[in-house]
Amino acid sequence: MRLAISQAEKSPPKPTNFRVGAVLADRLNRIVLATGYTLQLPGNTHAEECCLQTFLEVESRILLKSSVIYTTMEPCQKRLSGKTSCAERIARTWDDGKQGIETVFYGLGEPDTFVSKEERDTLAEKQGLKAIEYIYLPGFEEEISRIATAGHERPTKEEQSQQRGALYANEDDRK
């Protein structure tokens, strides 16, 4: 996960992207096969997408059954751009009878910023993505969240205070 975090730090901060890092590895032989990070390749590219494309650029490369991917944030189930989601890309590594990625290790669940959890879960179920094991690795949330959201607008202390005040005012209105 540490290598995936270092990859995420390479991603340029933007208000419309999470800075994510990914590492494709062979679990049995304990070797790194490829790395990637958000916006590493041209276009609006995600970390897992870059990692897989980098690996597949070498034609003779095939994934082994022991292939796993470490990603700082849970792979997206839906992309607002209409591009193929990272979860679907990972699932497609098993297409045409090929060996694919068997496990996804992630350090932070995908926030509801762009797609709600309910929508992600529904999409995952429809796409049959439950066959790949997803394992959450606790202990990295704060660091990953800080890196992932660099470049996002943060409310000032005054705005936070106003939001809290509005919350309390709304509760008074309901009484």
Residues tagged active-site: 48
Number of neighbouring beta carbons within 10 Å of residue 86: 28
Q: At residue 85, what is the residue type?
A: S
CB 47 within 8 A of CB 20: yes
Q: How far apart are CA 107 and CA 145, in angstroms?
A: 9
Please tell me the distance from the alpha carbon of residue 37 to that of residue 45, in angstroms, as a whole number: 8
Report d(CA 101, CA 132) in Å as an integer.
Answer: 7
